[in-house]
Each structure stands twice: as C-alpha cells, then as structure tokens.
Amino acid sequence: MGLPSLEGEGYKAAPIDGLPPAPAVILVGTQLGENIGTTARAMLNFGLHDLRLVRPKCGWPSIKALKACSGATEVLNAARLYQSVEEASADLRLVYATTARPRDLPKPVVTAVEAGRKLRDGMADGLAVGVLFGPERTGLSNDDLIHADAVLTVPLNPGYSSLNLAQAVLLIAYEWFQAGGPERPASSTAAARRPATKGELVGLLDHIAGELDQTGFFRTPERRQSMLKTMKVVIQRAGLREPDIHLLRGMIKALAEGDRRSR
Amino acid sequence: MGLPSLEGEGYKAAPIDGLPPAPAVILVGTQLGENIGTTARAMLNFGLHDLRLVRPKCGWPSIKALKACSGATEVLNAARLYQSVEEASADLRLVYATTARPRDLPKPVVTAVEAGRKLRDGMADGLAVGVLFGPERTGLSNDDLIHADAVLTVPLNPGYSSLNLAQAVLLIAYEWFQAGGPERPASSTAAARRPATKGELVGLLDHIAGELDQTGFFRTPERRQSMLKTMKVVIQRAGLREPDIHLLRGMIKALAEGDRRSR
C-alpha cells in the first residue's frame, strides 16, 4: 500500500473525527481549484468526507478551492494527496470509475443508483470503497479505468452531457446517501390542526345551499341536486380544518347579509 | 393571467424548439447570476429547458449567468421574467416548492425521488408542472410556499445541509429524468379531472376578496390580509378542478349579485 504523499502542513489524516465511514472520492488531475471546493461541499452534503487528490493540475493547497467550498473546510483540510490512482486506491476494495461516455472496456457498467446501493452493501460487508473522477475536460484515461471494478455512468440528456465535476460527485454522493434509507422528513401536516368533523362539513354545505336557495341560483331542482353533489365532493376533498369552516361560513354570511340588509 | 414582463430583446418564448416538454424551473429572487447560469446547465443536463425568473436580485440579463452556463445558453436565452410567483406559475397545474428546512405548513412533504415520479405522472396526464426555488440565503417565503401543492425536501447530512441552488435543481432534474423509463400511458380520466391552473386559483381568490370588500366583511386591512392568506391555503389545498372553479365563481356571483340587485 502506497503511503500518501503529503504536501504542506496542517493536513490531518482522514477520516474526520465523529463522521461515520463513507466512500472515498478520488479526484484525478483536477484542473480547477474551484471544482475541488465545490466537490468538498457536495460530499459533505451527503456525509462524505474522505477526499483524495491525485496530481491536481490546479496545485494544492488551493485558495480557490477554499473560497468555493462554502464552509466544507474540514473536508479540504483532511484531503490527502497522491501521485497515482494506484496509490490513492490502494486501501480500497471496491472502486467505481466515472465516465461520461461508454468506453470499449471489458468492465461492468453501473448507474448511479446501482452504485449507491453497491457501495452501501460493500461498506456493510466491511469493505473500504471509493469512486474515481477524471479531469474536467478529458475524463479518466483507460489506464486509470483499469483500477476500477466497474464503470459508473449517469444517464444524461444525450444532447447535452457536460456534467460539472462537483455535480457528478453530488449525484453519486446523493445516491449513496439515499441507499442508506435516510429518515424521510416528517410531514408538517401531521402536527397541523385537527380536520373538521364530517358534521361541520355538512353544516357548511347546508349553509351554502340555504343562502343560494334565496338567490334563485339553482333554477331547477335537478341543477340544485347536481351542483350540491359537486360541492360535496369539493368540500370533502378540501381537507378543511375547524378554523377554515368558521372563516368560510363567515364569508358566506357576509355576502348573504350584505344582500338581505339592503333589501 | 399576468403576461411575463420581458426585459431586453431576443428572448423567445419557451419551450425551446425540438425539446420535449419538461418541468418548469422557477427561481425566485436569485442573488447570484452565476447560480442562474449553473442552474441552466444542470437543467439541460437532464433535458429541462423552461426557466422562469421571478425578480432576480442579480438583474437580468446577466453576464455572470452566461459565463457560468457552460454552453447551456439556449436555456438562458429562453428564460422568462416575472414579477411574482403567482404570475410565473399561472399556467401550471402541479407545483412543488423546495425548502431546506421543514416548516410548520399544512402541506404534504415529498422527497426528490417522489417528486420526480409525480412530475412525470402529472406530465403523462397532460399537466404543466414546475418546481419553485427560493433565494440562496433565505429560501422561499411562506407566502410563496402557499402556491405550491407540496413541499419538496432533499434528505441531507443534518450536520451540513447547505445545498447550492444549482445543485438542488440538479438533483430534482436528475430524479425527473430517472423517473422517465418507459412511457406511462395517460390516465383515461385525466382530461376530465385536470387540476385548475394556478392562475384560475388566483382568479377565484381575487373574486372572493373583491366581493367581500364590498360588504365590509374584513373590517381592517390586517384582518383582510390574514383571512385572505388562510383562504389562499384552503383554495390551494382543495384540489379544485376546472369545473369546480366555474361552479364556485357562479355561486359567489349569485350571492353577491343578489346583494347588488336588491340595493
């Protein structure tokens, strides 16, 4: 196993204290420091923190990366530098290589969804796992792809398939996070107010019908029946709460009393 | 329905020729032009092209957006400007609002995966659909959220949940694209049960407000504002169809004209 070649001071070894294990993100020959910064942010959004840089063309450390990371500095500070993909992936047992275009390689191809699940499964089996990302313009070389267990592609609009580096990282981090069965956010309707009783709904409908009867709105009994049936459906479906009923009846009363007052 | 307020020349109406229909992306009060550019790129990656800007704080057109869009200029050129969320969503029948934090709102909550599927389903039923994104720092206001059918949140690392605007757009566009798969047959009842457009809902609320104004029902501007806000929530939640709108407006007219006739 090749030891990481650390450049500069103050870089502590990953993983970051307190964060649970997560797949390594290996950026190869990255051209723009900004993209390393936005990658760190995308990683941390989904709990990834093991960033490995193979010969970044932008140099390292990078002020541009720091400026672009939106507070995900802990990921940048813990990033490790390597001279080759071999070194960077030496401790990993399951590695996916991202490519924009399918290549003529004897490798299985997985989507981001599948990769997310398999990375989870691998980690559940105690494997160290990671994903390789190539330089912005050219992508990974075939030599680098050789180290991977499978090729990972994200299905894209065929007419415009230029995915930004950090966005590719984001989608794969997202799918890994999703595969973990994250807590579904509790619906805010749960804590909301009590639904109106069925009796209150009937009262509302009767109120509407009674006021409209006085205006001649329905014209015939058949129209009256059909329209009130429609209103019943609407009122039932509306998910009205108790205070809504009071407000609606107040409005109906105001419209109708305006009428009677002026007679 | 408010017409878009176009600024500058050369903006053609979306959708872009040759691209199949896709959900509208509505950016509200965006602060940084770069984020509009990277949003356009993220959209086009997954075949989205209907970009709507509500009062962008960065101004429009934006050189920074153009520089950041990585060739997705067609999306920027077709972007439309609006003065309000109401205007921008007037023609849409299914709208999700993205939020970083759960709010105490009586709205269903969906994840990006669910939203992707439901946007597909809605479009298969012939509905115009869209997703709202708020300003970078503050997110959508509760007033803007009122227009949405549901709140959309992306499950994130709770320790670091600052998702960049374009990355939020990317994840939702990705899930919509993922949900594509084989074409789903349109529901046969779809045409009869189309939800009302957001414009029709606004029209209904305006009608109610206008008639009640004449009765003195609201008494004070504060009460008026608060009651109309409640009504907005009720109307939004009611799942009203086109024929329901006609029936309700007919009833309101009958009550109110009864009033005026007899004066």
Q: Do A234 and B212 touch (CB under 8 A)?
A: no
Nearest CA in chain B to A192: B106
Q: Do A154 and B174 touch (CB under 8 A)?
A: yes
Per-residue pLDDT reduced to its tens digit, A148-159? 888 998 888 888
Q: Do A255 and B257 touch (CB under 8 A)?
A: no
The minimum CA-CA distance between B165 and chain A, rounded to whole Å, is 12
* Residue A104 pLDDT: 67
Measured between beta carbons, the chain B residues lying within 8 angstroms of A160 are: 44-45, 71-72
Measured between beta carbons, the chain B residues lying within 8 angstroms of A247 are: 227, 230-231, 234
* Residue A6 pLDDT: 33
* Residue A14 pLDDT: 44
Where helices occur in B46-104 by DSSP H, the ranges are 63-68, 73-77, 85-88
* Residue B6 pLDDT: 33
The CATH code for residues A6-178 is 3.40.1280.10
Considering CB atoms only, which of A212, A243, A244 is closest to B255? A212
Classify burial at B190, counting beta carbons within 10 Å of its beta carbon; exposed 0-12, middle 13-18, buried 19 or more.
middle
Domain ranges of chain B: 6-178, 198-261
The gap between the terminal CA atoms of chain B, to the nearest Å, is: 32
The minimum CA-CA distance between A1 and chain B, rounded to whole Å, is 31
Identify the residue among A164, A246, A260 best suited for mutation to test binding to B, counting B beta carbons within 10 A and taking the highest: A164
Considering CB atoms only, which of B157, B167, B262 is closest to A167? B167
The minimum CA-CA distance between A131 and chain B, rounded to whole Å, is 19
A3-13 b/e (C-beta count within 10 Å ≥ 16 → b): ebeeeeeebee
Report how far residue A36's alpha carbon sits from residue B62's, in angstroms, rounded to the nearest whole number. 25
Report how far residue B29's alpha carbon sits from residue B20's, in angstroms, rounded to the nearest whole number. 27
Nearest CA in chain A to B105: A188
Q: What is the mean pLDDT of each run of 10 residues along chain B (263 residues)?
A: 33 56 97 97 95 97 95 95 95 92 77 95 92 94 88 89 91 94 48 77 92 90 91 85 89 80 48
Report how far residue B166's alpha carbon sits from residue A39's, in angstroms, rounded to the nearest whole number. 13
The minimum CA-CA distance between B115 and chain A, rounded to whole Å, is 13
The minimum CA-CA distance between A33 and chain B, rounded to whole Å, is 15
Measured between beta carbons, the chain A residues lying within 8 angstroms of B247 are: 227, 230-231, 234
* Residue B133 pLDDT: 97
Rounded to the nearest angstrom, the gap between the alpha carbon of residue B174 and the centroid of all alpha carbons in its chain is 19
Q: Do A163 and B217 touch (CB under 8 A)?
A: no
Greatest Cα pair distance in chain A: 95
The one-letter code for the residue type at A64 is: K
Cβ atoms A40, A69 nearer than 8 A: yes
Q: Which two tokens stand for residue B43?
A: 């959209």
Measured between beta carbons, the chain B residues lying within 8 angstroms of A227 are: 247
Closest to B55 (Cα-Cα) out of B93, B12, B26, B18: B26
Phi, psi (deg, nearest 5) at residue B81: -100, 140
Per-residue pLDDT of chain A (263 residues; tens, 9 = 90+): 333 333 333 333 345 667 789 999 999 999 999 999 999 999 999 999 999 999 999 999 999 999 999 999 999 999 999 999 989 988 888 899 998 776 666 678 899 999 999 999 989 888 889 999 999 999 999 888 877 888 998 888 888 877 899 999 999 999 999 998 644 344 443 334 567 777 888 889 999 999 999 988 899 999 999 889 888 878 877 878 888 888 899 999 998 887 555 54
